[in-house]
Amino acid sequence: MKKSVKITVAVLIALCVALAAFLLLWQFDVFGIFKEYKAVPVITLAGSKKIVTEGGEPYEDPGYKAEIDGVDATDRVKVEGSVDTRKTGDYVITYSLTNFKDRNLVSVQRAVTVTDNTAPVISVKGDKKVRLMVGAEYNDAGATAADKVDGDLSKNIKIESTVNTAEKGKYTVTYSVSDKAGNSAKAVREVIVSKLSAGSVVYLTFDDGPSENTIKILDLLKKYDAHATFFVVGSNIPGNEAILKRMVKEGHTIAVHTYTHDYAAIYSSPEAFWKDNEKTRNLVKKVTGKTPVIMRFPGGASNTVSADYCKGIMSTLTTQTKSHNYEYFDWNISSGDAEGDGVPTKSLYVNMMSGIRENYETPVVLMHDSGAKGTTVQAVALVLKKATAEGYSFDALDETVPAVHHGVNN
């Protein structure tokens, strides 16, 4: 073999040995020579790799941690991709990292889905409860609507109205809107059309019945085509069911005045009061099919005797009436028949007529129709005759009438 060939073979063998040695060192790297080159980054995502988030809310990434061969490398991670929560859909965020020698690229992805399950918000302009007199013009103030994803939807609002200012009643204006995802919202304005005008409508109210005197009062009201409100005591209803049915038939309002009218019992606690009161409401509904929505506190909301049984109870009860689906009414004209039985008819008549003539807003007259109030019946006859001749009319209380409230003293 020639000398040149021997040299070539020797070189090749040396190279092979060197390559083998390198590969062995690379593979096993006993001395850690290639440690930094071979290191594989590790990225750990906080939270889930698949996230569903609600549109319109700022997206906050749960974060991540990274290390290279046990050394923290979180600040070296490159994050690509973003989430626009103003648009629903699927987004991808990619987190990538190479080792300290810019080798061994590692990438991890997080999938983010933006959904829209939140309904728009409708804001009613102006008052949510509007009061008008019969014949007045109603001009709706409108509403605005906003959605977290779709933005301003005010132009998409649909308005439905039942308002008829030609007739007394309780009406609604309904505003509705839907966003692109199909979420819908509604808001309602209440419009109350009332016959109230200065000095023209009087509200006669009777507490503590029914009794035989209630029948006489109903006869008088029918004679003058007048209507009134009867705050009944539940314990007086058994045996007088026909009277309640007649009240409903002839267009009067039946309201609740507790079941026992026993101050010590009903004012011992709020729970005791409502339990007693609801007993009458349920009985009235059973007899007439109508559920009362108006009530009166025995002694009125301003009574102080309740403090003998429970301090502060009237402050509590007056704030709870709405949650029990009631409006409570006190009075601003007193006939004076609460002072005792047999109060002279003339005295009652003068008290009522002077009060009616002086009250130019919502005249609510307090009377009693229990069995001992015979002079009240006589006074009612005089008032109906005189006030009707003077142009007054008599109506029953309902939800359209502005509530008359006393100041609370307990």
Rounded mean pLDDT, 22-31:
53
The rounded Cα 157 to chain-centroid distance in angstroms is 21
pLDDT attached to residue 39: 84
End-to-end CA distance of the chain: 126
Q: How far apart are CA 403 and CA 393, in angstroms?
A: 19
Sort residue 353 into left (φ over 0), alpha (ψ -120 to 50) or beta: alpha
Q: Higher confidence at residue 46 or residue 39?
A: 46
Task: Answer whether 99's CB lies under 8 Å from 41's CB.
Answer: yes
**Which domains, ranges and CATH numbers included, belong to the chain?**
35-115 (2.60.40.10), 121-194 (2.60.40.10), 201-394 (3.20.20.370)
Rounded mean pLDDT, 186-198:
78
DSSP single-letter state for residue 233: -
pLDDT attached to residue 38: 74
pLDDT in tens, 334-393: 999 999 999 999 999 999 999 988 876 789 999 999 999 999 999 999 999 999 988 889
pLDDT exceeds cutoff 70 at 182: yes
AA letter at 16: C
Confidence (pTM): 0.62
pLDDT exceeds cutoff 90 at 227: yes
Rounded mean pLDDT, 176-184:
96
pLDDT in tens, 46-77: 999 999 999 998 999 999 999 998 899 999 99
pLDDT attached to residue 101: 83
Q: How far apart are CA 254 and CA 403, in angstroms?
A: 16
Residue 111 pairs in a beta bridge with: 50, 92
SS3 291: coil
Q: Select from 314, 342, 339 the least CA-distant residue to 328.
A: 314
Q: Select from 108, 100, 103 the least CA-distant residue to 43.
A: 108
pLDDT attached to residue 198: 44
Structure tokens belonging to residue 157:
């609002």
Radius of gyration from C-alpha coordinates of the chain: 41
Q: Select from 58, 72, 367, 62 the least CA-distant residue to 211.
A: 367
Task: Answer whether 330's CB lies under 8 Å from 301's CB.
Answer: yes
Q: How far apart are CA 195 and CA 168, in angstroms?
A: 6
Q: How confident is the model at residue 195 (pLDDT cuts 50, 70, 90)?
A: low
Query: Token match 């009643």: residue?
Result: 169
- B/e letters for 188-199, b = 16+ CB within 10 Å, e = fewer, are ebebbbbebeeb
Q: How confident is the model at residue 79 (pLDDT cuts 50, 70, 90)?
A: very high
Q: What share of the chain is helix, strand, coil (3-state, %, to 5)?
A: 30, 25, 40
Would the CA dihedral through 157, 158, 162, 165 be positive or negative? positive
Task: Answer whether 251's CB lies under 8 Å from 396's CB.
Answer: yes
